[in-house]
Amino acid sequence: MKKSLALSMIASTMIMAGGSIAPVEPVVVEAAPAATGTFGEALRNGKFTANIRAFYFDREYDDGDSDEKGIGRKPNSSTFTAGGILKYESAAYYGFKFGLAYYGNHKIGSVFDRADAAGASMLDNDGSYDDIAFLGEAYLQYDIGNTMFKIGRQQLSTPLIQGHDLRLLPSVYEAAIIRNKDIPDTMIELGFVDRYTGFTSRDNGFTDNKTSKDGLAYVSFSNQSIESLSIQGQYVKTLADTSSDGGSIAREVYTYIDATYALPFGDNTYIKAQYGTNSYFAAGADDSTLLGAKVGTTLFNMLDVAVLYDKISDNAYQAFESGPMYTDWQQGYGNYDPSTAIGGQIVVQAMDGLSLKFGYVDVNADEGTVRDDFTEFNFDGKYTINDWSNLRVRYSIKDQTDSSDREDRNDFRVIYYMNF
């Protein structure tokens, strides 16, 4: 009954809203860019954008399964919220520009109580489940030639540190980065990250949510200089083994690299490979290793098919704030125990603007671990309504094995996007 009511509300909202290596070029030092107008003109020529979402989320647990495993009942979660990002970015003045953005997520209607959202990771995570509202971006950026400097609150987009955009708001960071593209077909980024908002910004700002008491540093890169091959990778170093409140930090170093090679046959045929590691602060702790592969192609100009594989060995693996694993439909909720995962996916380009993705994965935990032992079916449907709005429906069924210490669950999400 709750779900049908929520879907009616969402429908009403939508109706109302409507092979060779390239030679290395010599580095040219660029002069500082000249101003193209006054500072006032730079302000007037700035750009306002709005990325608005309405989001219905419903999670149902198998209570009987929870009782049988002796881990207690978890309450089902349902919530309907709306919000997003309202942003202003100035035009450039002597190469400088700045940006400011409001991040908000607000409960809609009275069908669901705030407490109903407890497990949905949508509203404030402090137990009050209040609306989320904070200054999500506030940065200063300077561009000169092929180099960009950016400092302040900002979104990041690297293999291991990114928006992790699974709910209504992405994760954002207080960071300083330098990005350079002087080497042809190559991007190199150096960064320092202090605080961040946590998973899906549910911590309602940057309050005491630090990477460690001294932050972390990273280097990230991407390269496409070899024909048909694209590579990206990242190295992340945590600069202290404790958090700002004295808690322990588990992982000292994160590494990751992946490569995609376009095969010279078929239609959009490719092979991908990924490799990652974690090293730990604890003495004697084994490093963890992630190894994965993905092969895909397009059939009949309308079916994208792929098979996927991931293997985690020796210790639990985790990205800092992202989900790079090929077999992880949910894009990474946390650390993953040693396990082997194999799966497949089909994306149907059913008609112009409509894609339907079906995925299945079977994860088998290594002997001695029980957390990550499950099968999961995932559906992800996307429809472009017009040039400023689109609709997405997601549904997943996650069945844990009898030996797992986690509960079976079904997740259902409907998201309506508006971008201006």
Domains and CATH numbers, the chain: 2-419 (2.40.160.10)
Question: What's the token pair of residue 59?
Answer: 């999670």
> How far lies 289's CA from each of 125, 254, 314, 341, 354, in Å?
31, 10, 7, 14, 37
> How far lies 337's CA from each of 81, 134, 324, 325, 410, in Å?
33, 35, 15, 13, 21
**Other CB atoms within 10 A of residue 358 CB:** 14
Question: What's the token pair of residue 347?
Answer: 């994306």
Please name which of 347, 399, 339 lies closest in space to residue 364, comparing C-alpha atoms.
339
Kindly report, residue by residue over 8-30, the tens digit of the pLDDT: 444 444 333 333 333 334 444 44
**Other CB atoms within 10 A of residue 7 CB:** 16
**Other CB atoms within 10 A of residue 23 CB:** 7
Rounded-to-integer distance, Cα 246 and Cα 331, Å? 29
pLDDT of residue 407: 82
Q: Residue-wise pLDDT tens for the chain (420 aa)? A: 444 444 444 444 433 333 333 333 444 444 445 556 899 999 999 999 999 999 999 999 876 555 555 555 678 889 999 999 999 999 999 999 999 999 999 999 888 888 888 888 888 888 888 999 999 999 999 999 999 999 999 999 999 999 988 889 999 999 999 999 999 999 999 999 999 998 888 888 887 778 899 999 999 999 999 999 999 999 999 999 998 888 899 999 999 999 999 999 999 999 999 999 999 999 999 999 999 999 999 999 999 999 999 999 999 998 888 888 898 865 555 688 899 999 999 999 989 999 999 999 999 998 877 778 889 999 999 999 999 999 999 999 999 887 667 788 899 999 999 999
> How far lies 114's CA from each of 36, 120, 136, 218, 298, in Å?
50, 11, 23, 38, 44
Phi, psi of 63 (to 5 degrees): -65, -35
pLDDT of residue 16: 35
Strands 389-400 and 409-419, sheet pairing: antiparallel
pLDDT of residue 13: 40
Q: Compute the mean pLDDT over every residue in the chain, rounded to the nearest whole number.
A: 87
Please name which of 189, 204, 68 lies closest in space to residue 132, comparing C-alpha atoms.
204
pLDDT of residue 235: 98
Looking up tokens 């209607």 gives 109
Rounded-to-integer distance, Cα 165 and Cα 204, Å? 15
The pTM of the full predicted model, rounded to 2 decimals, is 0.85
Rounded-to-integer distance, Cα 388 and Cα 404, Å? 43
